[in-house]
Amino acid sequence: MEGALTARDRVGIQDFVLLDETTETAFLSNLNKRFSKDLIYTYIGTLLVSVNPYKELDIYNRKQMDIYMGVNFFELPPHIYALADNAYHTMLTEFNNHFILISGESGAGKTEASKKILQYYAISCPSTTLLNTVRDKMLKSNPVLEAFGNAKTLKNDNSSRFGKYMDIQFDSQGDAVGGHILNYLLEKSRVVHQNHGERNFHIFYQLVEGGEDDLLHQLGLERDSLHYNYLTQGECAIVFSINDKNDWKTVKNALQVIDHLFGIVASVLHLGNVQFDSDSKGQALLNNNAETKYLNPTKIRCKRVKIPFTIDHAIYARDALAKAIYGLTFTWLVNRINGSMENKDSSRKTVIGLLDIYGFEVFYVNSFEQFCINYCNEKLQQLFIQLTLKAEQEEYEAENIEWEPVQFFNNKIICDLVEEKHRGIISILDEECLRPGDATDLTFLERLEEKMGNHPHFVTHKLADKMTRKTLERGDFRLLHYAGEVTYCVVGFLDKNNDLLYRNIKDVINSSLTVSSLSHMDLTDELLGIMTLMLCPCFGNMMESFEFHPFLGHIITGQFDEALIRHQVKYLGLMEHLRVRRAGFAYRRKYEVFLKRYKPLCPATWPHWRGMPADGVEELVQHLGYLPNEYKMGRTKIFIRHPRTLYATEDAYEKCKHELGESTRLQAKYKGYKAKGEFRKQKEAATKIETCWRGVQARKERERRAWAVKVIKRFIKGYMTRGQAKTTDNSEYLAFVRQNYLNRLKEKLPKTVLDKTSWQAPPAVLAETSEILRKLHYRLMVRKYVRGIAPQKKAQLQLKLVTSSIFKGKKDTYPHSVAQPFVDTRISISVSNLTDGMIVFHITCEDPKEKGDLVMQCDHLFEFLTKLSVIANKQSAIKVVQGSIKIEIQAGKESAVDFSTGQEPMVYKAKNGHLMVVS
């Protein structure tokens, strides 16, 4: 915050709350000024606004993470790491749940923002195996969820077509212990229809373009996206900016369950290519096209029931089935991911949730999907305005500051228009879906006109005035949202709200699940249900589960196209939020923080204030001349109403800092002069001490040299008399000789029993001692060697001993074999269960040149093998085999001996290369 004040003319204001004017023009100007310097983050209080730069910025590295760890929220420039860190530490302090809402239009970077937050927690939280597991699975699930839940739209090549809520569960120590993902509002209609310039979900194109040839052949697919009706509705199946083949590799590597899952994806494509003809009565007939054989009709175990459908009904049933299968498959994927991250501990946990949701959508044609998405955003707008007001009011109450009512647009009237029981649009839509008779989208529109004809936020072609009527089709209705007007086309509203499967289709699926690929995915119960777009319960349950706090992040996209930015500022409700934050006081800080920064401005508080911080702040602001209506003193904070008051204080601080700098330089010069005089005194004292010390050292050196001369003299005399009997002159020398020999011997003792030559030659005085030591050392080495022999090695040596008694001096090749270890042949024996006399000896061999297994015939098979097993004491080595015995001809080359019965015994080489034995 303070950094923004000192550099406000260069990089704008880091918190919009401190703008002099709370106008849209001032808002956009500040945003543009910061964006031009690659400062993409700006605060509105605790709300973070981000402008997508569409280029890489070096602000997400480990160094940046370390800077923001455990720092006060406003102490450093705005950053998504500050938001994440504040949520984490507040959660630990208060031990309650928090969530971060990330909203914005398609392509704004919402999913990337959630990844950055997860990566920050992975580094900043205490590192545990559980944290790494949760973190890795959340991050690695992204390619799979994006493949099955993202698609190319007109605005974004990788647009999320589903809402995603992720939470990380923490224990009281702040360790991550689990995670969960909630998906909702999957745009299933995209499976069967796409607008011009858009594509189906990525996974279809990835499978067709990147799948291996064997897999495509198995699934009955062609490597051509244009071949499939469900992939060509938007007329852009091939997009050069998307590499489906590479994306396929990423998705396949991330998935453990492959075959069954892709079989379902393929079945959806085949369903889309199923065509219908009409008979003479106008009833639909199934074509005998090639696609039907891949839908496994032979596996369906149920009675054939003929229900007359028109072609339109048949197409509707086909598409409804495709959407249901795909929707349930997506739900199953999310459940599998959740199962791998499930927290098994039932003790209380706190969570930080990340809500990555569609932004407000306004297209050329807006249908049921946009209606649900925009209603969701309407509710979110209502929620965070209420939470902001609540937080402001609670802070004022806690600080004993009088609360002043805030005037803002309350969008409750729009929410009620959509959700009110028995009168809202959703209730009327549900009633029309259940009403007997020929209910259509147009009859639904008529009911809307009857129920809410006078509503100020609702208009249709029939209800509009002459000028407005020109902008509305007869099948349209228009809602005036908080973000602006949106026109919705009612065509498809009833079908999409119902999203029904005909009962006979569900029965067929039920009977086929026991043998179809879906049964392998535990989808039986789910597929029998009816998937409906029920936004309210899903979102409502989530709201009840958490105590929300306004750590909100809004994403704005674009290369600062002012018209586009202005539109997004409006539909994200940023100006409303700013006005709520600015309704009371623009700036509030704890007394300690305010006093620490600005205490140089008042003689009474500089350089130290000894009293209470609140009294010091009061003394300071009185000295600065604050008027009574410019500030309020709370229990723990000072509240400043206008930014200009704070700016004046900050300018005074900058001037004071400069003056303090001048006095500091004078002090430095004086201190330098004093230090030089002190240095000269210390240098003179050091010189005197050094002279005395050198004298002491010289006397010690003279004594040391005299002692050395005496030692050398005695050594020379001892050397000259070393061959004589021990005397006073040579006793020290002989002791030296003994010690020196023993030291050399210790460093170079023989390491192996077979080393007979490296023993150190002794001096004459130690000849007898050396021989005794040599024998002791070799006995010790032999003892260690014997004790260290492994049982397997001992058995080898025992065998070598037997071999020696049999062959030594009798066979020429015996000496060469002594050093070679015995080869462990691990012979096993196989015989067939028939009446033949064939025996196969399986012999392990490693050299390809060696012969492999031995096959022989013996008339006395039972006697031979019985005696052999008794001698070897290995009855388990003999196996009786039925049908065929595998043999190894050479190392790595296998064959087999096949056994059968016939009219006469025979042994011959069969056509398959095996040895055939007929008994």
β-strand pairing of 284-286 with 484-489: unpaired
β-strand pairing of 350-356 with 163-170: antiparallel
pLDDT of residue 97: 87
Q: Are 488 and 371 in contact (CB under 8 A)?
A: yes
pLDDT of residue 445: 93
Percent over 90 (pLDDT), the chain? 17
Q: Are 246 and 169 in contact (CB under 8 A)?
A: no
Catalytic pick among 42, 86, 97, 111: 111
| pLDDT > 90? residue 389 | no
Q: CA–CA separation, 424 vs 416, rounded Å?
A: 7
359: annotated active-site residue: yes
Q: Is 542 exposed, middle or buried (0-12, 13-18, 19+ CB in 10 A)?
A: middle
Domain with CATH 3.30.70.1590 in the chain: 588-660
Full DSSP string of 878-918: EEEESSEEEEEEETTEEEEEEEE--SS-EEEE-TTSPEEEE
Write out the two tokens for 370.
């946009």
Compute and round to an integer the Cα radius of gyration of the chain: 44
What is the dotted CATH code of the domain comprising 398-491? 1.20.58.530
Query: pLDDT band at 317, cuts 50/70/90?
Result: confident
Q: Are 803 and 816 in contact (CB under 8 A)?
A: no
> Mean pLDDT, to the nearest integer, of 424-431?
93
Amino acid at 305: V
Q: In this predicted model, what pLDDT tens digit does every residue of 493-539 receive, in sequence order?
A: 998 888 766 666 666 665 554 334 443 444 334 333 322 272 222 33
Q: Distance between alpha carbon 140 and the CA centroid of its chain, in Å?
A: 5
* Top-confidence residue, 550 or 409: 409
The answer to whether 141 is a known ligand-binding residue is no
Report helix angle 643-720 to 731-747, nearest 10. 130
Residue that has been written with the tokens 């604050």 in this structure: 626
732: annotated active-site residue: no
CA angle, 193 then 198 then 199, to 5°: 70
Q: In this predicted model, what pLDDT tens digit does every residue of 45-67 receive, in sequence order?
A: 878 998 888 888 889 999 999 99
Closest CA to 354 of 210, 224, 507, 160: 160
Closest CA to 824 of 850, 855, 793: 793
Catalytic pick among 45, 107, 179, 584: 107
Catalytic pick among 141, 153, 160, 497: 160
Per DSSP, the three-state class of 85 is helix
Mean pLDDT of the chain: 81
Full DSSP string of 150-174: EE--SS-TTEE-SEEEEEEEE-TTS
CB atoms under 10 Å from CB of 351, counted, come to: 20
| pLDDT > 80? residue 358 | no
Residue that has been written with the tokens 């809202």 in this structure: 424
> Mean pLDDT, to the nearest integer, of 725-744?
84
Catalytic pick among 46, 159, 329, 730: 159
Query: pLDDT band at 402, cuts 50/70/90?
Result: confident
CA angle, 319 then 323 then 324, to 5°: 115
Say which residues have a Cβ less than 8 Å from residue 914's Cβ, sequence separation at least 6. 884, 895, 896, 897, 898
Amino acid at 657: K
| pLDDT > 80? residue 254 | no
Q: In this predicted model, what pLDDT tens digit does every residue of 81-109 receive, in sequence order?
A: 999 998 898 888 878 888 888 887 777 78
* Top-confidence residue, 71 or 196: 196
Closest CA to 668 of 676, 607, 603, 599: 676
Amino acid at 774: R
Say which residues have a Cβ less than 8 Å from residue 503's Cβ, sequence separation at least 6. none
Catalytic pick among 12, 179, 353, 359: 359
Q: How far, in Å, are 262, 714, 727, 738, 770 from residue 730 at the CA level?
A: 96, 8, 6, 12, 21
Report helix angle 731-747 to 767-787, nearest 10. 20
96: annotated active-site residue: no
The answer to whether 529 is a known ligand-binding residue is no
Say which residues have a Cβ less than 8 Å from residue 790's Cβ, sequence separation at least 6. none
361: annotated active-site residue: yes
111: annotated active-site residue: yes
pLDDT of residue 422: 87
Full DSSP string of 577-592: HHHHHHSS-SEEEEHH
| Residues paired with residue 100 on neighbouring β-strands, in sequence order | 354, 551
pLDDT of residue 135: 67
pLDDT of residue 532: 26
280: annotated active-site residue: no
- CATH topology for 588-660 is Alpha-Beta Plaits (3.30.70)
| pLDDT > 90? residue 206 | yes
Q: In this predicted model, what pLDDT tens digit does every residue of 622-642 receive, in sequence order?
A: 998 898 888 889 999 998 888
Domain with CATH 1.20.58.530 in the chain: 398-491
Catalytic pick among 291, 361, 419, 619: 361
Residue that has been written with the tokens 């019985």 in this structure: 866
Q: CA–CA separation, 627 vs 621, rounded Å?
A: 9
The answer to whether 708 is a known ligand-binding residue is no
| pLDDT > 70? residue 824 | no
In 281-424, alpha helices (H): 311-341, 368-398, 412-419
Using the 8-state DSSP alphabet, how is residue 860 labeled?
T
Q: For the ranges 690-694, 712-716, 824-828, 833-837, which has the lowest average pLDDT? A: 824-828
Catalytic pick among 156, 443, 803, 919: 156
Question: Does an H or E element contain 284, and which?
Answer: strand 284-286
Amino acid at 848: P
The answer to whether 108 is a known ligand-binding residue is yes
**70-78: long-range pairs with CB below 8 Å, 24+:** 73/46, 74/1, 74/15, 74/43, 75/1, 76/3, 77/3, 77/4, 77/14, 77/39, 77/41, 78/14, 78/15, 78/41, 78/42, 78/43, 78/48
Residue that has been written with the tokens 């051509």 in this structure: 224
Full DSSP string of 613-679: HHHHHHHHHHHHT--GGGEEE-SSEEEE--HHHHHHHHHHHHHHHHHHHHHHHHHHHHHHHHHHHHH
Omega before 607 within 30 of 0, i.e. cis: yes
Q: In this predicted model, what pLDDT tens digit does every residue of 529-541 receive, in sequence order?
A: 322 272 222 333 3
| pLDDT > 90? residue 295 | no
Write out the two tokens for 551.
């750590």
Q: Is 633 exposed, middle or buried (0-12, 13-18, 19+ CB in 10 A)?
A: middle
Q: For the ranges 156-160, 310-314, 593-597, 871-875, which has the lowest average pLDDT? A: 871-875
Closest CA to 512 of 739, 217, 296: 296
> Mean pLDDT, to the nearest integer, of 722-735?
79
> Mean pLDDT, to the nearest integer, of 323-348?
84
Q: CA–CA separation, 759 vs 751, rounded Å?
A: 10
Query: pLDDT band at 480, cuts 50/70/90?
Result: very high
The answer to whether 106 is a known ligand-binding residue is yes
The answer to whether 107 is a known ligand-binding residue is yes
pLDDT of residue 419: 92
Q: CA–CA separation, 242 vs 202, rounded Å?
A: 9
Query: pLDDT band at 231, cuts 50/70/90?
Result: very high
